[in-house]
Structure formats: structure tokens, C-alpha cells
């Protein structure tokens, strides 16, 4: 089934700016971690304050998320630039007006403290626990949109775990946002674009692989090889690949042969020209999905 995030305009995490109210519908912990850490790290580097409404992720976990991005999360928390608050899931109930008032106050406080703006992001998983007032969730999201539009210093990302929400309900919640947020490409120029995917875990390769773009492909494959082995299948989606030379094909074959024994590599949408080269060179890939 087509992911909800593919049916609405998407913004890369590194390109979010004040005035954006975006939704992150994620289907894996890895996707949440990578998108959210990119959003937070970018804001901290820009001199913005970041406010995190947490339901399941504590400050120590956020620090661990930010470490690979070269950001000291613990130091940002100590300086007051990054703040972690409990999400609004208490037994007292959820009051959208009260939360929105708190967000507006947080914007004013960030300005007064000399920050360039405010970024906020929240885990919405608490709404699945039957907290009174969650029927007003659409009202709350609409209020966040209005608040973001009215402010020149605010950007917001709302995190929705697709594993907890009915698809129809989630689609309606996504539609209240300006769009969705997705992970930044590992490489993106006029010739080649390589994007991590999460459902399934892997890489989507689009464009041309030749002498000028072989190195970025090799770098992306190396990163994929180092991903945690929690998901044993790695999928290389070549549906948008328009050309690949022999050196590029060899790199894919070597990558597939080099991954850890407990993992499998699957190539989807292999171009006919690539299949022909594999046959002539007598190379093989461990697993190829022949479906269109």
C-alpha cells in the first residue's frame, strides 16, 4: 500500500523554515529518529530554541540521536536551547486552547532569550491512550497551523506513528498540516539522487550513475551497510534509475555480496539494460524482485 507521506507535498528535514507546520507519519523507529534528529540539529545550528514534547523519548535518548550529527544534545539542554517536556497526555485531559497558549508563550520566551526562533516537535502517541479531550485533536492541529502562520519565528513538526493510527484517521490528521517532512537525501544533484527509505528499509536511487556520480553511490551503499541489523532486508529501489554504467553495476553487486550474513539485499525495478549487463558479465545479485 502506498505510504501516506507519498500522497502529499514533502519537505526535507534540513529545509524546514519558520512558517512550516509539517507532519511526520513514520512507520519505524529508525525513520522517526533520523528525521527528528535532523530537524532538531538543524534548528540548534541555526541558533533557534527547540521544544520537544515527549511521550516515549527521554532527554538521554535525544542526546544519543544527536551525537551522530555532531551535536551535543546534553549541552544544548544545559544551556536551555533544547527543552524536553512531557506530552499533553495526563489524566486531567487535553485542552487545545491551553496548549496553544503555551506554544505562543514559548515563542515569546525564545525571542526574549535572544534565540533566532522556536522549533517544536511532539510525539502524538499519547493520544492513543484514551486521554479525555483527544477528540479535539483536529481542532488542536488547525490551531497549530494558524499559530505557525501568524508567527515569523515558529516551525512545528508533529510526529504520528503509523503503527498506532488507523489509516483513514491518520490521513485526515496529515491533511491539516502544510505537508509532510522526510529525511534529507544522502546525495542530490542534477544527475543523481539517493534517498533512504524505511518501509522497506533501503535506498531509492534516481537518475544517472556514471563516472561523475559513482562515488556518491558508493558512499551511500557504505552507509547502508553500516545501518543496524534490526531489519534484515535491505531494498535497492531502481524504479527511477535512468542509466547505470558497468562500474555502477559492479558496485551494487559488490555491496550485495559484502553485507552481513544475517542480512539480505533485494533489488527492485531493475532496468532491462542492467539485467543484460549482469547476464553478459555473469554477475549475479543475491535476490532480485522481478515484479514491476
- DSSP-based three-state secondary structure for 146: helix
**Whether 217 contacts 45, CB under 8 Å:** no
- Asked whether the predicted pLDDT for residue 267 surpasses 50, the reply is yes
| DSSP track, 109-135 | HHHHTT-S-EEEEEEGGGGGG--TTGG
All structural domains of the chain, each given as residue ranges with its CATH number in brackets, are 4-182 (3.40.50.300), 187-289 (3.30.750.24)
Q: What was the pLDDT predicted at 291?
A: 52
At residue 292 the predicted structure's pLDDT band, cuts being 50, 70 and 90, is: very low
At residue 91 the predicted structure's pLDDT band, cuts being 50, 70 and 90, is: low
Beta partners for residue 222, in sequence order:
none
- What nine digits make up the cell of 31? 525513520
Mean pLDDT, to the nearest integer, of 123-145? 90
pLDDT tens track for 158-207? 999 999 999 999 999 999 999 999 999 999 998 999 999 998 899 999 99
Angle between helices 246-258 and 214-225 (to 10 degrees): 10
- Asked whether the predicted pLDDT for residue 288 surpasses 80, the reply is no
**Whether 166 contacts 31, CB under 8 Å:** no
Beta partners for residue 197, in sequence order:
202
**Whether 42 contacts 14, CB under 8 Å:** yes
**Integer Cα distance of 63 and 58 in angstroms:** 9
At residue 93 the predicted structure's pLDDT band, cuts being 50, 70 and 90, is: confident
Amino acid at each position: 500500500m502506498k505510504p501516506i507521506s507519498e500522497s502529499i507535498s514533502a519537505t526535507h528535514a534540513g529545509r524546514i523554515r519558520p512558517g512550516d507546520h509539517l507532519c511526520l507519519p513514520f512507520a519505524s523507529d529508525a525513520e522517526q529518529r533520523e528525521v527528528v534528529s535532523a530537524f532538531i540539529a538543524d534548528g540548534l545550528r541555526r541558533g533557534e530554541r527547540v521544544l520537544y514534547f515527549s511521550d516515549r523519548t527521554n532527554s538521554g535518548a535525544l542526546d544519543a540521536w544527536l551525537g551522530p550529527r555532531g551535536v551535543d544534545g546534553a549541552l544544548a539542554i544545559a544551556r536551555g536551547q533544547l527543552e524536553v517536556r512531557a506530552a499533553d497526555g495526563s489524566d486531567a485531559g487535553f485542552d487545545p486552547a491551553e496548549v496553544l497558549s503555551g506554544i505562543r508563550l514559548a515563542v515569546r520566551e525564545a525571542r526574549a532569550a535572544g534565540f533566532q526562533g522556536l522549533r517544536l516537535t511532539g510525539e502524538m502517541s499519547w493520544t492513543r491512550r484514551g486521554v479525555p479531550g483527544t477528540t479535539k485533536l483536529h481542532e488542536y492541529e488547525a490551531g497549530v497551523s494558524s499559530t505557525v502562520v501568524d508567527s515569523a519565528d515558529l516551525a512545528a513538526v508533529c510526529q504520528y506513528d503509523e503503527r498506532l493510527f488507523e489509516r483513514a484517521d491518520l490521513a485526515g490528521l496529515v491533511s491539516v498540516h502544510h505537508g509532510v517532512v522526510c529525511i534529507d537525501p544522502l546525495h542530490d544533484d542534477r544527475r543523481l539522487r539517493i534517498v533512504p527509505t524505511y518501509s522497506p528499509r533501503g535506498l531509492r536511487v534516481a537518475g544517472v550513475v556514471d563516472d561523475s556520480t559513482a562515488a556518491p553511490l558508493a558512499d551511500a551503499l557504505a552507509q547502508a551497510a553500516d545501518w543496524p541489523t534490526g531489519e534484515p532486508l535491505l531494498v535497492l529501489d531502481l524504479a527511477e534509475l535512468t542509466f547505470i554504467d558497468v562500474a555502477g553495476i559492479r558496485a551494487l553487486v559488490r555491496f550485495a555480496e559484502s553485507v552481513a550474513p544475517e542480512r539480505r539485499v533485494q533489488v527492485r525495478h531493475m532496468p532491462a539494460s542492467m539485467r543484460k549487463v549482469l547476464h553478459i558479465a555473469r554477475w549475479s545479485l543475491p535476490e532480485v524482485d522481478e515484479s514491476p
